Structure 1
Amino acid sequence: MLNRADVEEAAARISGHVRRTPVAVLEPEDAGVAVGPSLFKLEMLQHSGSFKARGAFNRLLAAREAGALPEAGVIAASGGNHGLAVGHAAARLGIQAEIFVPTTAPPVKLAALKATGAVVGLHGAEYAEAYGAAKERAAATGALFCHAYDQPEVCAGQGTTALELLEQAGPDGLDTVLVAVGGGGLLAGIAAAVDGRARVVAVEPEAIPTLHRALAAGGPVDVPVSGIAADALGARRLGGLAHETAVRHGVRSVLVPDAEIASARRALWERRRLLVEPAGAAALAALRCGAYRPEPGERVGVVLCGANTDPSDLGSGLG
């Protein structure tokens, strides 16, 4: 069971290895609806371009503390962002890294991943296939496996995002935190960190409703994977930790169409000059399209979770 103490322990462990990312005022014009004093959490400014650096450092540092970091190094499977984070953390800590990604990973993420110095292998058309290949490789080599979203240390590291956000919100705090969901590692960490101090609303693309289906089915189930945010939110199945934590904290799931994600992404650039990938715009899209409707005066925190993207497609219809 993941709890706030785990997240606080992670925050102490990764201090000095990750950035305390800033916040920006979220105005009613950004949200497309009236809100109280609200904030963007600019996690796309994190090392490696997303919140994933937090979980990667926590996983590797915790293993090192426990004397469980093998000479074979670390292996991970990723749609892009997790691999970038593991590659970055491994390079900073002097650890060998091997990353398995699907052939559909965007070129901008592949180029950045190779630049970390990690060994990169392409396997399958979606994350689940790359995951299977990575697990086989880890078993064969004895390397430490760093899961993208379903390990306690990874989820706890991601949750440090929310600890910072609540501190930055000041004494009045926030009423609601909106967070995008794929496999659910960020959601699990944030829900554990918030722990009743605010409600947590999960935002998912209509094309990849992992949490939505899991809540309806009473547990994680496979879903189809497609759409503009699939490279970052393209887990076929929600993680068990995310499901357990979401149920325990009463997390609500809302779905947003790809067109609204693309619209929110463009608006962030045009209004604020904030560049995010499609997954990074999903949480804002829920406000703008009415999938989540705040109460008058509600104080909302919106996590902009990543920026590993090609800015040349900002003007296209779905990207």
Structure 2
Amino acid sequence: MSGRAQVSFGRRDVLAAAERIHGHVRRTPVAQVAGSVLGVRGSAEPVWLKLEMLQHSGSFKARGAFNRVLAARHAGQLPTAGVIAASGGNAGLAVAHVARQLGVPAEIHVPITAPAVKVARLAALGAVVVQQGTEYAQAYESALAAAEESGALFCHAYDQPEICAGQGTLGLELLEQLPDVDTVLLAVGGGGLMAGVATALRSRARVIGVEPEAIPTLNAALMVGCVVDVDVSGIAADSLGARRLGDIAFAAAVDCEVRSVLVSDQAIVEARQRLWRELRLVVEHGCAAAVAALATGAYRPGPAERVGVVLCGANTDPADLG
């Protein structure tokens, strides 16, 4: 796919998703904090944190999952076999939550490296859990084959228009809560959140995608002009461990001029610990990447720039937070 690829959904789809999932998802709060609390150097400006880790199932993924399944149900296309998803954890948790709320069966395929806390939660939500492979891509192939065999509705973790449009409702909420936001920082794995939020904020605010140096899916795609496979490793692989950026996400990134910045695993660990130490916020490592970009100077806000940071997930074991 080249930089001239067409975005397969637009802001009207995000608006339709917001109407469709209203009452099914939480309107998560925004907290203003001093930049110095997050380690931002040389700036007296505050930063606004979108506390999306308070969303149902512990991450933003519930938005896209509800939109995907409700859209199918409203169209009369939700099979009795239920839903199937592949996930490093968060997308599966969201689909399992949605399935339980709507009373349909769910089967979630995860790699054997998925955190035990996420696997246990999937089972608690009533989903059938299938562990396959050592990374998301292998779980994805397993789930896709199972969906073709059973006829269940396949819910992609990040590369379906309904999924991306649902994630974009976070951007609409943030605009209502912080109408004059200039820049939004968010973590990127497969890119569904980035695609949705960038589309929702197009011509209204810039979006910065933050990625671990070990899994630069967006950065690599923007460098060469198409989606490419990258190696998957590092501290945030459980939530940002897609092998490549989604096609929808790449098209949205090009169309909305999304910029990528990279952060180290050590910076991610320190940002996660800082959020707990200073604010008593428990987040997963992938989520902390966006804060790490500010703390390290990978992204430096300009004078009077109003910066929002999406804290996108909290499905983590807090035992190492002290």
Normalized against structure 2, the TM-score is what? 0.96
Question: In the TM superposition, what are the counterparts of 1:157-172 in structure 2 within 5 Å?
Answer: 157-170=166-179
Counterpart code for 2:14: V
The SS at the match of 1:177 is: strand
Aligned to 2:63: 54
- One-letter code aligned to 1:287: L
Q: Is 2:95 the counterpart of 1:86?
A: yes
Q: 1:97 aligns with which of 106, 130, 137?
A: 106
Shift in Å, 1:32: 2.3
SS of aligned partner of 1:237: coil
Alpha carbons 1:35, 1:300 under 8 Å: kept: no
Whether 1:307 aligns to 2:309 is no
Q: Secondary structure at the residue paired with 2:189?
A: coil
1:122-173 CA-to-partner distances (Å, cap 9, x unmatched) read 0000000000000000011111100000000000001111111111114xx1
Kindly, what percent of the aligned residue pairs are identical? 67
Question: In the superposition, relative to structure 1, how do residues 35 and 166 fare at CA in structure 2: closer, same or farther (>3 Å)?
Answer: farther
Equivalent residues of 1:37, 1:297 under 8 A apart: no
Offset of 1:38 from its aligned partner? 3.0
Distance in 2 of aligned mates of 1:139 and 1:35? 54
Shift of 1:5: 0.9
SS of the residue 2:211 aligns to: strand
On the 8 A contact 2:38/2:274 being kept in 1, the answer is no
Match 2:196 to one of 189, 193, 196: 189
* Contact 1:37/1:298 (8 A) holds in 2: no
- C-alpha contact 1:46 1:53 (8 A) present in aligned 2: yes
- Structure 1 runs (4+) deviating above 2 angstroms are 30-33, 35-38
Q: Using the alignment, how far apart are the partners of 1:10 and 1:27 within structure 2?
A: 33
Look up the equivalent residue of 1:312 and give its one-letter code.
Answer: A
CA distance, structure 1, for counterparts of residue 301 and residue 95 of structure 2: 36
Hey, what does 2:3 align to over in structure 1?
none
- Offset at residue 46 of structure 1 (A): 0.3
Q: Specify which of 132, 136, 141 is matched with residue 141 of structure 2.
A: 132
SS in 2 for 1:26: strand
- Deviations 1:150-204 (CA, angstroms, capped at 9, x unpaired): 000000001111111111114xx11100010000000000000001101100000
Matched residue SS, 2:297: coil
Residues 80 and 101, structure 1, Cα contact 8 Å, conserved in 2: yes
Cα RMSD over matched residues? Answer: 0.9
Q: Residues 66-81 of structure 1 correspond to what in structure 2 (within 5 A)? A: 66-81=75-90
Q: 1:210 corresponds to which residue? A: 217
- The CA distance in 1 between the partners of 2:206 and 2:38, in whole Å, is 18
Q: Note if 1:31 corresponds to 2:2.
A: no
Structure 2 counterparts to residues 1-319 of structure 1, below 5 A: 1-33=8-40, 34=43, 36-170=45-179, 173-314=180-321
Q: Deviations over 1:54-89 (max 9, x none)?
A: 000000000001111111110000000000000000
- Offset, 1:29: 1.4
Structure 1: any 5+ residue segments left out of the alignment?
Answer: none
C-alpha distance in structure 2 between counterparts of 1:259 and 1:196, whole Å: 34
1:242-288: CA deviations, max 9, x gaps?
A: 00000001100000000000000000000000110001111010000
Q: 1:160 and 1:148 mapped to 2: Cα distance? A: 16
C-alpha separation between the residues in 1 aligned to 2:133 and 2:207? 33
2:5 corresponds to:
none
Answer yes or no: is the 8 Å Cα contact 1:35–1:294 preserved in 2. no
Give the secondary structure class of the aligned counterpart of 1:68.
Answer: coil
1:306 deviation in Å? 0.2
Mean Cα deviation higher: 100-109 or 27-36: 27-36
Q: Is the 8 A contact 1:35 1:299 kept in 2?
A: no
Alpha-carbon distance change, 128 to 35 in structure 1, aligned in 2, over 3 angstroms: farther
Q: By how many angstroms is 1:35 displaced?
A: 5.2
* Counterpart residue identity of residue 31, structure 2: A
Q: CA deviation at 1:37?
A: 4.4
Contact 1:87–1:116 at 8 Å: present in 2 too?
A: yes
